[in-house]
Structure 1
Amino acid sequence: MADEDNSDQPVRKSRNVKFMERIDSSEEVINTDREGYQTPTPNERHNIKTKESDDKFDWCGLCYEDFQDPRILPCMHTFCFKCLDEFVEQTSEENKFPCPLCKISTSIPNGGVTAFKSNIYVSAMQASLQMEAKKSVCETCEEALEAQTYCLECKQNFCNKCGNIHLKMKLSKEHHLVNSLQTAEKDGHRMKSYTFCDDHRQEITLYCCDCSIPLCDACQIDSHEEHDLQNIVEYAKETKQDLQNSIDLLNNYLPSLKDRLTDVQLYEKEFVTAKQNLAGVIKARAVALHKEIDDVSDKFLEEIEKEIQVEEDRSKIFKSRVSEAVRFASQQITAANHYISFGSNPDVAAGRDTLRRHLHAAFKLLPVGFIPRVNVIFSSSNSGDTISREMFGNISKRGKLNMDLKQEASYKVPGQHLIRGIAPVSGGKAWVACGFDQRLHLINRLGSRIRTIRLGKEIDIDYVTSDSNDSVYISCRKNRCVKVLNRDVRIRDLAILNDYPRGIALSHTSDLLVCATKSSTYDNYKHSDKNVVMKYTHNGKVITEFERSKQHMKYPRRITENINGDIYVSDHKESCVHVLTLEGRHKRKYTGTEGNLIGEPCGLTCDRYGHVLVTDYKNHCVHLLDQQGQHLCNILTEKDGIKNPFSVAVDDDGFLWLGCSLGMVHIFQYLL
C-alpha cells in the first residue's frame, strides 16, 4: 500500500527507476501555473541533462551498474555474471532463455552461466581507464620504464619491449595486452593479441568470404584453396569501417531518442499539477453549490482519477518503449565499439554479420515516433436552477499529437473500384486489392505500379495481408477460402471455410485470424446469422472460434491484433470496433467520442507502438486510438483530401498506406 510506513525496510529500486537515474540526472522545470498538459519548451528540455560519463552505456543492462565479472552471450550482449545467472534462473525453459536485450533465444551451455565467456573487451576498457588514471612502470625489466601495456591474463604492466616479448612466449602468446592511449595512437590498436587456429595452431591470417570464417595458411591448403579469400587485416579494416558508418548513423539518432524520453518525463510531471488544478476547480465548484452537490462532486473526482490513470498508463507504456529503444540502440553501439577498439582481426571478422544485424535491427526502432498528449478538462455549467450533473459541469478530453503527416505519393488503380486491402512487403512496396476482383497490383511508395497478377476468373479478392517473409494471405469471399501467395508469386490454398471469409490478420504467433460471416455482404445480414472470428494455424487447421455463443458481434468486417494481444474487429452493422482478449473474450467496444461518433468502421491496423488506426468510410477520416482503445484524435480527415477511406496499413519503415474509393491509394510519412 502507498500509505504504509516502510521506513525500516530497505528500498530496492525497480529496473526502470535505476535505468532512468543512470540515463538522466535531471533538473526538470515544470510550469505549475498552467492547466492541463503542454509540450515542453526548449528551456525545459535543456534542463534535463544526461550524465556525460554514461553516454557510452558501459554498464550492465540488467542492474544498470558498472560491470562485475562481465559475461558475453553469443548475440554479443554483455551482462554481469550474477545478474545473468539470476535472469537465467527466472526465465529459462527447456535449457534456453531469451537475451534480456534483443530477446534472441540462447542455449545454456553445459557448464551453465559460468561457461559463458568473460567479455575481454569490457575488461580491456576498464584496464585502459585505470592505466590513464594511474601511471605505472614495467614490472619485468630492470630499467623500470614507464608501462605502455597491461596484460589482462597476467594482470601485469609492461613496457613496449617486454610486452612484445611476452606475446612471443609459448605460455602467453594468446594473452591480451591493452595499450596505453599513447601506444594506441602509434600502432592503431587499443589491444594487441594473436589468434591461432584450433586445428593447426598457426596464426590466423586469412578470411574465407565463401565460408565466413577466419583461417590460417594451413586451412587454406587443406580445404579453402578455391574459395574467395581475403587478408584478415584488410578484411577487419573494411569491417571496422562498415561498422563505424553504422555507429555514426545510429549515434545521430540517439539524441532524438533521448529527447523523446525527456518529453515523457515532463509529461508525467504534469500529471501532478493537472490533477491538483482539476481537483481544485471541482472542489471550489462544489463549495459554491453547497452540500446539495457533494455526491455529484465525488463522482466527478472519481472520473478525473480514472482519466488521469488512463493517461499515466499510456505514458508508462510509451516511456517503457522509448527507454527500451535507447537502451537497445546504445548497447548495439557499445558492443560494436568494443569490437572496433579492442577486437582482434579474426574476432572482428567473425563478428561482422552479428554486429551488423544488431545495428540494423536498432534502426527499426527509429525514430520512436510521436507522443500522444491529452488534456483532461473540467467545464462548469451555468444554466438551470436544479442541482444536477449537467449543471455542475462535465469532463472532456482534448488530444494533441506532435506529429505532421506528409503525403509521400498517391496512386490510382485503373477503374473506379474501392481499395479493399493493402499488404505491405519489403522494399517499400505493397500488394493492393481493388474491388471484388481477381487481380492484385504491386505498387511502390513512389506511386508507381510494378506488376499486376491475376488469380483466376472465378476468384474475387476481399482482403489481403502479409507476413515478415513477404508472403501474402488473400481472403477470397465467394470461393470461401484463404489463399497464400509466396515471394515467388506461387499461390496455394491455406484454408477452406463453410462461411464467407472477410477480413484476415496474422497474430504474433503466426496464427491466422479470419472474420467469417454467413452472408457474402453486410446488406444480406440476418439477425439470426452467427458471424464469428476464427483462428487457424499457419497450416490452415482450425484452432478455435470466437464469440459464437455470446454473439457480441453482428457483422465482423476487418480484424487486427495489437502488440499487447488484444484483437480489434470492425463491425459494420453495429458501427463500432470490438476489442477482444487474446482468448476471444469481449473487453469493450469503441464507437467514437462525443461529437465524433464513428460512422462506418472499415479497415484496421496497428503500428509498432500499439496505436490502432481505424478508417471511417462514412465520415471520411481515420481515427487514432491508444493501446487501451481510447481515442486520441483523427489523424486524417476530408480536409487532407481523403474520400471514403476503407483500407489501411503501416509498413515496416513507418509509412502509412490508405486505400479509398475510386481506386485511390494514398501514402503518408507516419512514423518517420
Structure 2
Amino acid sequence: LYCMDCDCPLCGDCVTCDHVGHKVRKVSEVVETQLRQLKESLGNEHSVFHLQNLLSDSEIRQKQLAEHRENLLRNVVDREEEIIEKVKLWREKMTEKIISLTDNEEKMLGKDTTLASALLKCKERNLEIDREGIKIISLNCALRNLLNKDTSTSVRCLDFRIGTTNDDLFDLFGKVIDETEELSSDICQCEEEEEEEEEEEEEFHDCLDLKVLMKFKFGSDSIDDIVPLQNSKTILLSKGIVYACDLRDDNLTHRSILTNVQQIFLIPSCGDVLSLIKDRKCIKRISSGSLVTTYMSTKLYCETYLCVGPGGEQAYACVLHRLEIDKSCRVFKISLSDEFGRILMTFTSKMDNFYSWYNRVSATDVKNKFVKISSQSVEIHVVLPNGDAYIRTKIYNGSVGTSPSSGFRPTDIALDYCGNILVSVPNDNAIHLLDKSLTFQKLLMTEEDGLHRPTSVALDAEGFLYVGCENGQIHVVNYQYLLNTNRQARLKFQKLSSKNGSLDFPGHFCPKIFDEILKNQNAEN
C-alpha cells in the first residue's frame, strides 16, 4: 500500500498504527500516477532548467570542496614544518644548556678533587710551616671550605620538565630546572653576560693557524675515521672508540665519547656526527661535540645497517640497509631520512643476489645519485625513473696507480665542493682523485708525501684535507695546494719551508706565489 497523505509506502503494521485515517491506495495505481507526473515535469522547461542549475552548482561545489581540502592539508603540512623548526631550535638550545651546566659542574668537582689530593699529599709529606708557610695557609683555608661543604649536594640535581603551551620554546617543549639552588635574576643575567663574553673570545681567538702542510701523531693505532669540526676540533675513530681532540694542543690531548663504534660520518648541514655501532643495529648521533643520542635503530633480525653517510640536498642522512631474505638472497636498500630518524624514501637494489660488503655510502649533489665503496671498488648508483629502485652505473677498481700484486682495497671516500671524489687506498699508500663519473684524475697524495697506509680521508669547510693513517699519523694539507702542484714541486717546497718557516701559507693557498717561490729558488741555484 501507499499513503497518499505521507507520500510513502506502507507495511501492514503501519496502516493500523501511524497512518490510521490516512488516504491509502495500491502501489500499482500510485506508480502510474507518479510516472505521468514525472513525464510532465521533464517536459516542463522550467523544471529542466532548474535541474541543469542544480547539476552545475553541484559540480562547482565539488571542485571547491577539493580545493578547500587541499588548502587544509597544505596548512597542516606548513604547520608541521613550523613545529619541526621550533623543535629543532629547542633541541639545539637545550643541548647547549645541558652541556654548559654539566661542564661547569665537572670543573667544580675537578677543583675539589685537586684540592683534596693536594691536602692528602701535604699530610703525607709532613711539610714544615717555616719552609712553605704560605702554601700551607692557602691549603688550610681550602681544607676548611671543603670540610664545610655538604657532600650530599656536590652533584647538582637537574630535572627535565614539560611546561604549558605558549610561544616560549622552553615552556612549549621542556626545560632544565636546577633543583639544588634557584639563582636570582641578577645572578642569571651576570652569568649570561659572562657566557656571551666567552663566546665572543672563542669566536675571534679560538682558531688554528693552519699552514700548507701539517702532521700530527695521535698514537700507534690506526685512524679508522676522521671528522674535522670547527675551530680545530676533530672527531676520530680508532679501535672502535670515538675520541674528541683539539689540533691546537701540541700533545693532541683527547677524550673518549663513545665506544663499540664501526663508522663515523659528518653531516655537513648541521655539524652532527653519526656513529654506526658495531652490531649494525643502531646509529648514534653526536651533537655539539659530545652529546650522544640514538638516531635510528632496528629490531628486525634480518636487517642490518652496513654504513651511513650524508643525505646531500635531499635529506639529512642516507643509510645503506641489508636484508637477509634467505641464505641465497640478500636485498640492499638505500634510505633517505630526516633529522629525527624518520625514513623519507627508500630505494631497493636490482641486484638481489649480488653480495658485496659495502662500507661507505654518500649522496652526491645530483638528485638520486649515490657513491658507495665496497671492499674492492668505488661505485656509482642511480635511482631508476620509476623511483623505487636503483642500479649500479659505473665502477672504479683502481686500475690506474694501484699495485697489481696488492689489489685495490679502498677504505674511505670524501666529496669536494665540485663533486670530485677522494678515495683512501692503504695498500697503495695513496689518495686517489676521481671526477664525478669515477674517471681517474691523479694521485693526490702518495708515500712521498709522508703517507703510511692511509685509512681515512675528509675535507673541512676551510679547504683543508685531513688524512688519517694506519700508524696513527694525521696529515692536514691545503687542498688547493695538492690540486695545483705535482710531486716534484711539493718535495722542493717542503725542503725550502723546512729551512725558512716564513714560506708557509697561513690561510688560503696561492698557486701564483708558490710558482714564484720555486722560480726564485731555481734562479738562486
Scaled to the shorter chain, the TM-score interval is 0.3 to 0.5
TM-score (norm 2): 0.44
TM-score (norm 1): 0.35
Question: Over alpha carbons, which structure has the higher Rg?
Answer: 2
